[in-house]
Each structure stands twice: as structure tokens, then as C-alpha cells.
Amino acid sequence: MDTPHCLAISVGNSRIYAGRFTEDGLDWNARFENNDYEDAAAAIAEAWQAVAGEPRAAMVLASVNDVVADPLAEVISRRTGETVYRMGTDLAVPIGQQLDPASHTGIDRLLNAAGAFDTLHQACVVVDVGTAVTVDFVDGDGVFHGGAIAPGAAMQLRAMHQQTTALPEVDFSVPDGEPFGRSTAEAMIRGVYHGIRGLVWRLTEQYATEYDAFPPVIVTGGDALALFENDELVDRIVPNLTLIGMAAAVRRALESNDDTEASSPPFGHS
């Protein structure tokens, strides 16, 4: 089955991401601040109209921030008259897991892993550089092994300012080619920039040693281009990896349903 018609919504710690998938793949996407969820709902409802009449089209939502996701889903349902299916409850993430049984892994990490494996179809390192930095490993059978979590660039800069009396408030940006930070702000930015890049390099080397092969590295997240554009370590930057993982989940559910009970699709218009 090709990419299903669906509208995928990912609610993160800071932002809402939405994308519409058709037979041509991702043909519309948008980003909103979390406090703009009414505007996000209006845009999503409008985007939905392009696929609403398609057989078995679905709206799916994944969240690591239910304080925003719950009212967002309610407003979208009210505007469209459709069910908003939730990842993790209504729909399983199509990725194997080899983790501590007592652990609770964020659904965004699992969806990134699913999106990466669906994109590359091989073992890979999955890097997300946003509010937090995650560096995870998926093996060649599509099994998620976990990885590492660190503070994102903005969080690191904010923590340095808040936890000291002398370090200024600084916005993250890409440093110039000068090796030395000749002001406190420039030194902070260089520390964060090269610290995150070094972290990803070192962890990738560890994963490659454990796996006995050097897997491709796929990067997503709001700071992906700033940190890794033209980096020789990175094979691919995919801004909407979480949404791709959600579309893969819809496709997998429909394929599974076709194999068992074709007359009763898992998604229906309410």
C-alpha cells in the first residue's frame, strides 16, 4: 500500500507540527507555537478538507504535551466533525523495541525511529535536535534500542543564564568560522554548538562499535539545519520525521486490517 491519505499532528514541548499526506507524499505542512493552538486547529481543519472525502482517510495526533494536545484535538474535532486518533492508544507505533520493560519512552522518539526506518529501510542513528537532543539507534530489523537524551541548544543557553550571575541571556545561532569566542555570548554559543555536534559524533561512534558497522545518520528537529547542514557525519536531514512515522503507522494499521478484516477499516468518519 502506498502512503495513505492522512493528516498527522505532532504536539511537542514547544510547538505543534502538522502535515497532510496524499498519494504524492507530504503535500502540506505547518508549524505553530503551542499557545497558538486555536490558529493551528483552524489551519489543520482547512487542510483536512483536501482529503476528507478519500476512503479511509484519517487524522492522527501524537503528543508529549497533553496540556496542549487535549484541547487542540477537541477543537479540531469540533471544526471538522471527525475523530482525531491518538498515537499510542488508538494506533501503535510501527517499530520494534528492545528497552527496559519498566521504561516509558517518549512517543516522539519512537515515531522518529519509525519514520527513519521507513525512510532508509536499514539500521540507522536517529538524531532529534529540538527542545532536547536525542541520539537513538535502530537496528537492521527495525528494532529501537534507545540511546541518549541531552538538553537542546536553547535549553543549555537558558540554563547557563539562569544558574549564574554573570552569563548573559543569549539566543542560539550558528557561530561564524572564528575558532575563538571573543565575547562571553560568543563563547557560550560556541560551547553549545560544538558540544551538541561532538555529542552526536561520539555517540554515533559508540553505536557503530556496538553494532560492528557504521550506520547512516538521519537528523530531524528545529535546529537540524543550524547544527548539521553539510556535516560529513550526516547522511540525511528530514525536517518532518515524526510526521513520516505517523503516516507509516496509519499505513501499517490499514495493511494489517486488510489482511484480517477488509470490510471493517480501522478508521472511519464520525
The strands making up 217-220's β-sheet, listed across from edge to edge, are 96-97, 143-151, 132-138, 124-129, 217-220, 236-237
Q: Among candidates 50, 127, 138, which has minimal Cα distance to 93?
A: 138
52: its cell numbers: 476528507
And the C-alpha cell for 24?
504524492
> Measured between alpha carbons, how far is 106 from 241 in angstroms, rounded to an integer?
15
Interacting residues of 139 by C-beta distance below 8 A, sequence separation 6+: 123, 145, 211
**108 carries an active-site annotation:** yes
Distance set, CA 14 to CA 19, 84, 200, 204 (Å)? 17, 21, 22, 27
Query: Which one of the listed residues 36, 39, 70, 108 is annotated catalytic?
Result: 108
A 10 A CB-CB count for 103 gives 8
Active site residues: 108
